[in-house]
Amino acid sequence: MIRPSEKRSILNPFSKLAVVLFLGVTLLRPLDDKYSLFIVLVFAVFYCLYNMPIKGLKTTALYISVLLILGSGNINELHPFFKMFASVLVVVKIFYLPVMAGKFFLLTSEVGSIISSMDKLKIPTSFSIPISVMFRFFPSFREEHANIKMAMKVRGITAKKPLRYLEYVAVPLLILSSNLTDDIAKAAETKCIADPAKKVRYRYVGFGVVDIFFIALMLVVRIVGSA
């Protein structure tokens, strides 16, 4: 039997998703600034574990600067134009934690491990097949779009004429995609996607101590820190 790859990811994709869910609650029941900063720092540490220290640094720096600007309190004296800008910062602060967690999930999870963990959680195939197809189709969609855009540019149809552009780019794209659907379905069928047998995946996804630690830490901070 072929062994699945020994290379493991640090966190299970679904524990990242679970954390996105907890942090979504911060919209209704806000966290104290200290605790939310702590959460941002934990994420920065995990970014470092995933070999993306710069990303972690950026996330932290952005959050601290938002806190500092809003905390300085002299926004009232600003010109109305800058006040508009400040209100955008308020929105940024409210949505920061869940959006950050979501970005972390997207940047650090491989497609293979997401699909593999969907198997493990026994998500019905009527959901897991479309999701895998989405990952497969996205790059070819971009490619086809670029090709059609080029072809239409030659014929003088550019984004400057939005209505014509929409029709003459969207329609070929939809037709192409419909044809691609048939191809993908055939390819998937030859790889026995509908076969109920147990699949061997390239990536192994487990649920380890780090996952428990990560989720527990977030839950504790969430409960302790609710203002």
**Residue 226's beta-bridge partner residues?**
31
**Under 8 Å between Cβ of 109 and 2:** no
Question: Does residue 68 interact with other proteins by CB under 8 A?
Answer: no
Among the listed ranges 33-41, 50-58, 146-154, 171-179, the one in contact with other proteins (CB under 8 A) is: 171-179
Based on CB atoms, which residue is closest to other proteins, 65 or 181?
181
CA distances, 56 to each of 63, 100, 116, 190 (Å): 11, 10, 27, 42
Binding of other proteins by 180 (CB under 8 A): yes
Q: Cα angle vertex 25, ends 24, 29, to 5°?
A: 140
Q: How far is the CB of 40 from other proteins (least distance, A)?
A: 14
CB neighbour list of residue 101: distance below 8 Å, 6 or more residues apart: 16, 19, 20, 23, 43
Q: Given candidates 87, 153, 213, 219, which one binds other proteins under the rule CB under 8 A?
A: 87
From candidates 33, 62, 102, 217, binder to other proteins by CB under 8 A: 102
Q: Are 114 and 13 in contact (CB under 8 A)?
A: yes
Query: Any contact of residue 18 with other proteins (CB under 8 A)?
Result: no
151 sits near other proteins (criterion: CB under 8 A): no
* DSSP summary character for residue 97: H
Structure tokens at 53: 């220290």
Binding positions for other proteins, rule: CB under 8 A: 17, 20-21, 24-25, 27-28, 30, 70, 75-76, 83-84, 86-87, 89-91, 93-95, 98-103, 105-106, 125-127, 129-134, 136-138, 141, 166-167, 170-171, 173-175, 177-178, 180-182, 184-185, 188-189, 193-194
